[in-house]
Amino acid sequence: MKVYQTNEIKNIALMGSSGSGKTTLAEAMLFESGVIKRRGSVEAKNTVSDYFPVEQEYGYSVFSTVFHVEWNQKKLNIIDCPGADDFIGSTVTALNVTDTAIILINGQYGVEVGTQNHFRYTEKLHKPVIFLVNQLDNDKCDYDNIIEQLHEAYGQKVVPIQYPTSTGPGFNAVIDVLLMKKYSWKPEGGAPTIEDIPADEMDKAMEWHKNLVEAAAENDEGLMEKFFEQDSLSEDEMREGIRKGLVSRGMFPVFCVCAGKDMGVRRLMEFLGNVVPFVSEMPKVKNTEGVEIAPDENAPTSLYFFKTSVEPHIGEVSYFKVMSGKVHEGDDLVNADRGSKERISQLYVVAGSNRDKVEELKAGDIGATVKLKDVKTGNTLDAKDSHNRFDFIKYPNSKYTRAIKPVNEADVEKMMMALIRMHEEDPTWIIEQSKELRQILVHGQGEFHLRTLKWRLENNDKLQVKFEEPKIPYRETLTKASRADYRHKKQSGGAGQFGEVHLIVEPYHEGMAIPETYKFNGQEFKISLRGKEEVPLEWGGKLVFINSVVGGAIDSRFMPAILKGIMARMEQGPLTGSYARDVLVIVYDGKMHPVDSNEISFMLAGRNAFSEAFKNAGPKILEPIYDVEVFVPSDKMGDVMGDLQGRRAMIMGMSSEKGFEKLEAKVPLKEMSSYSTALSSLTGGRASFIMKFAGYELVPSDVQDKLIKEFESKQQEE
C-alpha cells in the first residue's frame, strides 16, 4: 500500500441510530474500493465491522470499527460507530479523532432521537456533517418528509445534493443536483448509468440546483460576488463553496443511498474524496498545555492511542492517530503518560479484523500496532524531540449502575482484572470499588451496555457473575444543636485510662458565624474560640472543629485525638451507618488525669460524646439528587412526565429542541436505578436522557422511617 501524504488523507466517522444501516454501508464501501471481494451481511454474521462474538450474538454493533478505503488517489479512514445510545463512548471517541461525520438516516423512520444525540456531539466538537438517507427502497420511506424533518430540526443549512425519482421497493435512481445528472442502477447495484436529467424532472432539479448554488456561494465572499454577477457557479466553484460550508458548519449536505443494494455508494465516495475537508484543513487539536499541534509530517512524532481491543489469537491491538510527524516500523518512542519506552515493532492499516502491513504512516493518518508493553487507551507516544500529551476526549456521565460480584467468591481478583481490561476497550465502562457501600460497582450508559459486559465476562473469560442493586450513598446530618458529655475511665492495675469530653454539635453551613452562647435546659454555655479546624470530608461537606476549652481543663495536645474519635464516628452515622456531613463540633469542657489521661482515652471519650450528641440533634438522612435531562418525542411527553413524577422527580422546566421535547428534572438517585430500561420501554427506544450529580437533599420522613427500619433489621440479622 502506498504511503499517503497528510493532504491526501480524510478521516470520517460513520454515525446514526441503530438499524440505520452503517455496517451495511461499510461493507458496500469496502467492496466498491476492492478491499473485500464480496459483501457480507449482518444476518449472515460475516461483515467486516461486527466481527466480535458479542456483536454476532446480539446482532448489533458494540464497538467502533476502523477501516480504510483508497479512492481516487485519496485515503479515507472511516470509523463505523455503534448506533445504540448505550455505546455512545465509541461514537464520542471516533468523532474526536476524525474530521467529518456522516449521519445515516433510516428512510423508514426519518430523524430519530439517535440522530439528535449524534448531531449534538458534532455540534459540541464543531465537526462537519453530511446527512445520508439510507434504505430508500423501504415502502415506508418518504424522502420529501425526511428533508422537511431535517429542515425543522437543523434549519436551512440542510441542503440536498440528491433526491430519488421514487422511493419504495422500486427505488433505483437519483437526480444529482450538483452534477445535474441522473444516476440509475440495475438490480445488482454497483456502477451506475449516468445520463441527462429527463424533462419531467428538470423543473424540480433546477430549483434544487439553484438552492445548492446559493448555499455554496454563501460560504465564500468571492463566490458570492461571482454568483451575483453570473447567477451560477462552475462545478469546481460549487465544490469549493461546499467544502468551506462543511468546515464552518454553514452547510449540511444530504445524499441518498441504498446500502443494502449497493446503490449510490460510489457517488458518495467520489464526493468524500473530492469535497470533504482534508485533515490539514480542520481546526488543530490542542495538547494538555493548550498548545495547538498541526498535523505536520515534518514535525516531531506524536501518536495518540484512542482505542484498544483484545482480539482472538492476537491479544491487544492498539489503534492510534498520528498527531504530528511520521511513524515507521522499528521506531522507539516514549510514553508521555507513563514514562516507559516502547518500540513500534509492527505497523498496520486495518479494515475490521483484516490488517495490512505498512512501512510508514504520516501526520493525520490512522493505524494500529500490536504487542506494546504498557500503552493504555488515551496515552500519547512521543519521539525523543517531542513533548506532547493529549487528553481531548470527554466522555458522557454514566446513566446506569449495578453492583457486580462473581458467583464464586474466589474469583474476585480474576474478575477485577477482566473488568479493568474491558475498561481499556470501552472507557465508558467505569469500575469502582466502593469502600463506603462495600460493593464493586460497574457504571455504564444503560442496561444493554452492562448486559454486554456480563456476556463477555461469562463467554470470553468464563467467569460467572451476578448483578445486584447498588446501595445508595446516603448521608446523615443534624437539624438542631445538641449537647453531650462522656467520661471514659478504665482501671486495670498500673496506669489506667481517663478522659472526659463535653461538647456541643450543630448543623454547619458555609459562611456561618460561630455563636457566642448556647442554651440547653435553661443552662447557658459561653463559647471562647481558642482554635478552629475545618476538615473538608472526602465524601462531601465539612466538619468544623472548635476548641473552646478554658482554664486547661483538657490539654491542647489531646485535641487531635478528640478530633480523630469524632472523625471515626462521622464515617458511621447512627441512623443508617452512612457518612455524616456538615457538622459543627465545639469542645468546651472536660477533665483529665495527670497520670491516666492519654490519646486513646480522649479519642474514645470524644467519639462517644459526639455519638450521643448527634442522636439528640434531630439527625436526618440526605439522599443524592441528580439533574436529569430527557429528550423525548412530543407524542410520548405525557407518559414520560407521569413516570418521572412517580419517581419523586421535581420537574424544573420543559422546552422544545429541534423537533423533540426536552424535560429537565431533579430526581433522587434511588429512583433512577432502572430508568434507562423504563424510558426505553415507555417510548419504544425513541427517547434518551443524561444525568449529572446535583447535590444532597433531605429525604421525606416516610422514606427516612423506612430506611431506618431496614438498617435496624439488617443490624439484628448480622
Cβ within 8 Å of residue 270, ≥6 positions away: 71, 72
pLDDT of residue 113: 81
The answer to whether residues 8 and 74 touch, using CB atoms and an 8 Å cutoff, is yes
Strand 354-357 relative to strand 348-351, pairing: antiparallel
Give the chain's end-to-end CA distance (angstroms, integer). Answer: 67
pLDDT of residue 61: 66
Tell me the CA distances in angstroms from 709 to 575, 616, 623, 713, one per residue in order. Answer: 9, 18, 16, 6
CB atoms within 10 A of CB 35: 18
Concatenated DSSP letters of 410-460: GGHHHHHHHHHHHHHH-TTSEEEEETTTTEEEEEESSHHHHHHHHHHHHHT
pLDDT of residue 575: 85
Q: Report the alpha-carbon distance of residue 399 to residue 674 in Å, rounded.
A: 9
pLDDT of residue 309: 85
pLDDT of residue 80: 92
CB atoms within 10 A of CB 216: 27
pLDDT of residue 493: 67
Q: Helix or strand or coil: residue 131?
A: strand
C-alpha angle with apex 353: 350 to 359, nearest 5 degrees?
Answer: 30
The answer to whether residues 584 and 481 touch, using CB atoms and an 8 Å cutoff, is no
pLDDT (tens digit per residue) in 631-664? 888 888 999 999 999 999 999 999 987 667 899 9
Three-class HEC string of 33-98? CCCCCCCCCCCCCCCCCCCCHHHHHHCCCCCCEEEEEEECCEEEEEEECCCCHHHHHHHHHHHHHC
pLDDT of residue 225: 80
Three-class HEC string of 449-515? HHHHHHHHHHHCCCCCEEEECCCCCCEEECCCCEEEEEEEEECCCCCCEEEEEEEEEEECCCCCCCC
Which amino acid would we find at residue 130? I
Q: Report the alpha-carbon distance of residue 455 to residue 419 in Å, rounded.
A: 12
Tell me the CA distances in angstroms from 358 to 157, 320, 346, 365, one per residue in order. Answer: 40, 14, 8, 12
CB atoms within 10 A of CB 405: 15
Strand 9-16 relative to strand 74-80, pairing: parallel
Tell me the CA distances in angstroms from 120 to 92, 102, 615, one per residue in order. Answer: 11, 13, 49
Q: Report the alpha-carbon distance of residue 455 to residue 444 in Å, rounded.
A: 14
Which residues in the chain land under pLDDT 70? 42-43, 49-61, 493-494, 658-659, 718
Q: How far is CA 189 from the centre of its chain?
A: 38
Q: Report the alpha-carbon distance of residue 713 to residue 477 in Å, rounded.
A: 22
Q: Helix or strand or coil: residue 293?
A: strand
* Residue 537 phi, psi dihedral angles, 5° rounding: -90, 135
